[in-house]
Each structure stands twice: as C-alpha cells, then as structure tokens.
Amino acid sequence: MGKLDGLGGDTIFHYFEEICKIPHGSENEMALSDYIVAFAKERGLYCRQDSHYNILIKKAASKGYEDVAPVILQGHIDMVCEKNADTEMDFLTEPIEISVEDDFIHAKGTTLGADNGIAVAYMLALLDDNTLAHPPIETIFTVEEEIGMGGARAFETFDIEGKRFLNMDTEEEGVLLSGCAGGRRVRVYLPAERKDSPAKRGAYQISIRGLKGGHSGADIHLQRASANRLMGRVLYMLKENLDFSLASVDGGNMDNAICREAEATVLFSKENEETVRAFLTQAEKSFLEEYNSREPSITITMESLKEEVFKVLSEDTKNQLISILLLLPYGVQTMSMEMMGLVESSSNIGIVKTNADHIYFDNAVRSSVESRKELICQKIHSVASLCGARVEEVNDYPGWRFNPDSSLLKIFAKTYREMYGKDATISAIHAGLECGLFSEKIPNLDMVSIGPEMYDVHTPDERLSISSAIRVWEYLKEVLKRMDH
C-alpha cells in the first residue's frame, strides 16, 4: 500500500507517488524518463524518446472520437531540488519522502516536485485509462524546464499532428492561463583576487535564514526578501563600520527560486566580536520591521569557525562583491498596464557562489515585454562592467502572447462555468512556461495552461492540495470529453 492510496482521483496519486520514488531533479531525469518509456511500451503506445530524454507518447482516440482533431498535453518531468539546511538528502539518489496532512501532500524538509510531477501523473493516468472519452492524444514530457527550458528547446515536432495544446504547469485552480513572460538567465563572473589572511583575526560564519523563498516568477509579486540581497546589505553595513576581511559568500541553489538562505565567511579582530553581534542584531531587527508580515522569521546568526581560514578576498574584490549584491536588479521592476496586478518584468538573484577563481551570480530575468527584458540585462551588464566582472547570457526563451480569441480557451471556460457554476479567471502569468517555445515550433498553435492548487513551490514548504488535484482531474476529463469536433 502506498502512502497516497485511497485518496481518490482514479490513479493520479498512484502515479504521483511512483514519480516521487524516482530522483528527477534537473539534469537527472534519465531514470524517470526511462520509467515513462517502459510504461508506454507495456501498453503498446507509440513512444519516442530523444537523446535529451524528452518523450512523446501517442494514444488513439476513444470510440466515436476517431475523426476529432488531436489534442496535445504537456508537462515537464524535472523538479527543483531545494531542502532545509538541517535536512539530509541526496537528490541524485534518494526518493522524495512524502506525507499527507489534512488536504495536503508535502515532503519532509525538501521540495515536493508537484511542480510539475502532478502534470506527469495526470498524463500517465489518462494514457492508462481506456474507459475515458477523448480525441487522439499526444503527450509531451520535457526535461530541464527548471533550468532554462532546455528540453522544450530541443524537442522536435516532426511527428506532432495536433494544433490544440494544453500545458499543465500552473498552480492555481480555476485560473485559465493564456499568456506568460519570456525570460533569460544572466550570469555574472567576478574574478576572485585573494591574499593571505591578516594575522590575529578570528574567522566567523554569518548566516541569514528563515526566509520564505518561493518561485521567482509566480511569487515575485509577493515582494519577499532575498537572502542574497540581505547579505549584501549586512556586509555593506559591516564595511562602513569596521575593518574586516571576507573569504566567501554563498546563497541559493536555483536561479528561479527566491534565495532563502545565505552564508558569508568573515574575519575580524576578536575584540570586535560583540560589536559585530550588535550590528547583526540591529540588522535583523531592521529587516523584520521592513518586511513585517511578509518575512516574520528572518534570523541572522554568527558562529565562530574552528578551522583556520588561510586566504581571503582582496579589498577590491570584497568591495566589488558587496557592490554587485547591492546593485543587481532584484524583485519586481515594472507592472503591466494592460492586466491589473500582473508583474510585467522582474529579476531574481537566485545563486551566489564563491569558487576558487571567481564569484558567481546567477540571475533569472523575466518580462512580457522584450525591451523591458533587455533593459534589465543592460543594467546587469553595467553593474558588472563597473565592478570588473564579465557577463554571460544563456537560455533565452520567448513569451507567450495572450490570445483572447482562442477557441480552446472558450471550451475550457464554458466547461468550467457549467461544472462549477462560476466563471474561471482568464489571466496571464509572470512565470515562464514552455508554451512560448512550442508556439514557435508549431505554427497556429492554440494554447491554454491549467493546474491544481499548489503552495510555496520551489521551497521545502511546497504542498499540493489533494481535493484541488482531484477536481482538476475531473475537469480535465470533462474537457477532453467535450472536444468532439
């Protein structure tokens, strides 16, 4: 018996639990991809797996739907691998440990992977059930969505026949998405000049923890704090008030997750320890007041290190690092004037990592307006240039332009109204979806994106609503049943 057995929803939770048993972080999708291929072969379904481990599986129409145009369903098989600092977990080899509490499925101290494992579960359940009414189905399982949409970028569409496309990578039930932002990953590399550690200085680790984090697209409007940005502010404050050396700064693991935790290794005279602790206490108090209810659990701690630190950054590198952390664009940059409440452009300092020869800053830039995206990138280039750093831009992907005349959107909206007695919300999202890439590959593609209620994705607090997942499954089945022309 699985932990999710008996929850309802036909077989969706069975397949979701099976997915959780197989490690499938970005760039580690082979095992899950092979599982899906084996699933298709066991059922005699058309299946194509490419060299990137993307998969296409086709299923023939049910009786009476043979002449109906095919529908494409799509989701990604990789997940964001985040964990709490005190959680022991090897995402490369260990399964996600799931549990059920009230209406929610969550993991123990790690991300759950409901983004986008629930879409994979929906597609497997649909392919496995021969009692459902539906047109010909083409299911696309992509890889590396969370690190730049590499799977969708590489996926070939030569054997795709459908023109109606359902993406299932959203996190709000009752919302029909029909547009999304484009994005780009912008990496800054600051050369790390080093020198011998000054004599008679103790080594300490400053840690910022307790932040909520979240998805750098879907949650950026909540204006939560970034631990990387806060660390820059703390280090600047110390620089202005006492003489100290900096050995390293590290924070975050994913460019598309708001950084929850950051650490810095600093050295200063031991007689200044109480002064530094007082500064940190004041900084914590200021941050708690500044972010108020948004971030009620910010903590800043400092621990003395037992091991000796032999090398520190030069004064120039230290100052350049602090300047970059303070000046890199972070958070909401502009709001849409066409759709009330929609973020138009943003940037997220997702990763800061100190390496042997450089300090690395990884930024997720998003905008639904191409020129706004370019402007943010230009700002990052300017900051980097002033600080002697170089910039690399990768994984640019297009937005998905809103189509108010979408016939597919009308089917989904009508079905929702008749099933639930109220109108669905028709909206766009600031987060990036693979829809923009597929719309470029397949001309005249009609697209909608849906999903069940999920909370705090890309964080260890991620959880999936059981009742919502079931309702969306029933909704999906009904929409497919109504695609009879």
Averaged pLDDT, 389-406: 90
324 and 468 in a single domain? The answer is no
Residue 49 binned pLDDT confidence (cut-offs 50, 70, 90) = very high
What pTM did the predictor assign? Answer: 0.79
Predicted confidence (pLDDT) at residue 485 exceeds the cutoff of 80: no
Return the pLDDT at 177. Answer: 93
- Percentage of the chain lying above the pLDDT 90 cut: 92
Number of domains present in the structure of the chain: 2
* Residue 353 φ then ψ, to 5°: -140, 130
Return the pLDDT at 402. Answer: 81
29 and 47 in a single domain? The answer is yes
117 and 224 in a single domain? The answer is no
Q: Residue 116 sits in which domain range?
A: 12-181+399-482
Residue 151: which residues within 8 A CB-CB, separation 6 or more?
Answer: 52, 53, 54, 76, 78, 142, 143, 144, 145, 434
Return the pLDDT at 484. Answer: 80
Averaged pLDDT, 161-173: 96
Whether a cis peptide bond, with omega within 30° of 0, leads into 272 is no
Residue 337 binned pLDDT confidence (cut-offs 50, 70, 90) = confident
Roughly what angle, to the nearest 10 degrees, separates helices 273-291 and 227-241?
140
Return the pLDDT at 363. Answer: 97
* CA–CA separation, 128 and 126 (whole Å): 5
391 and 426 in a single domain? The answer is no
Predicted confidence (pLDDT) at residue 340 exceeds the cutoff of 90: no
Domain final position from 368, 397, 426 = 397
Distances (CA, A) of 407 to 170, 321, 426, 438, 445: 20, 51, 13, 18, 11
CA geometry: angle 196, 201, 207, nearest 5 deg = 100
Residue 199: which residues within 8 A CB-CB, separation 6 or more?
Answer: none
* CA–CA separation, 236 and 310 (whole Å): 23
Q: Which has the closest alpha carbon to 135: 229, 190, 71, 88?
A: 71
The residue from 18, 78, 169, 219 that is catalytic is 78
The residue from 145, 169, 446, 461 that is catalytic is 145
Return the pLDDT at 300. Answer: 98
Domain final position from 397, 432, 457 = 397
Question: Six-digit token pair at 48?
Answer: 């194509």
- Percentage of the chain lying above the pLDDT 70 cut: 100
Averaged pLDDT, 306-311: 94
312 belongs to a structural domain: yes
Averaged pLDDT, 57-61: 98
Return the pLDDT at 210. Answer: 96
Return the HEC string of the chain.
Answer: CCCCCCCCCCCHHHHHHHHHCCCCECCCCHHHHHHHHHHHHHCCCEEEECCCCCEEEEECCCCCCCCCCCEEEEEECCECCCECCCCCCCCCCCCCCEEEECCEEEECCECCCHHHHHHHHHHHHHHHCCCCCCCCEEEEEECCHHHCCHHHHHCCCCCCCCCEEEECCCCCCCEEEEEECEEEEEEEEEECCEEECCCCCEEEEEEEECCCCEECCCCHHHCCCCHHHHHHHHHHHHHHHCCCEEEEEEECCCCCEECCCEEEEEEECHHHHHHHHHHHHHHHHHHHHHHHHHCCCCEEEEEECCCCCCEEECHHHHHHHHHHHHHCCCEEEEECCCCCCCEEEEEEEEEEEECCCEEEEEEEEEECCHHHHHHHHHHHHHHHHHCCCEEEEEEEECCECCCCCCHHHHHHHHHHHHHHCCCCEEEEECCCCCHHHHHHHCCCCEEEECCCCEECCCCCCCEEEHHHHHHHHHHHHHHHHHCCC
5 belongs to a structural domain: no
172 and 207 in a single domain? The answer is no
6 belongs to a structural domain: no
Average pLDDT value for the chain: 96
| CATH number for 172 | 3.40.630.10
The question of whether 78 is a catalytic residue gets the answer yes
1 belongs to a structural domain: no
136 and 198 in a single domain? The answer is no
306 and 231 in a single domain? The answer is yes
160 belongs to a structural domain: yes
Predicted confidence (pLDDT) at residue 117 exceeds the cutoff of 90: yes
Averaged pLDDT, 299-316: 97
Return the pLDDT at 403. Answer: 82
| CATH number for 240 | 3.30.70.360
3 belongs to a structural domain: no
7 belongs to a structural domain: no
CB environment 110-136: b (16+ within 10 A), e (fewer): bbbbbbbbbbbbbbbbbbbeeebbbbb
Question: Six-digit token pair at 4?
Answer: 């999710």
205 and 279 in a single domain? The answer is yes
168 and 215 in a single domain? The answer is no
124 and 247 in a single domain? The answer is no
Return the pLDDT at 404. Answer: 77
Domain final position from 373, 397, 421 = 397
411 and 382 in a single domain? The answer is no
2 belongs to a structural domain: no
262 and 331 in a single domain? The answer is yes
Tell me the per-residue pLDDT of 77-114, one tens digit each, with 9 for 90 and over. 999 999 998 999 999 999 999 999 999 999 999 999 99
The question of whether 145 is a catalytic residue gets the answer yes
For residues 403 and 394, the model is more confident at 394
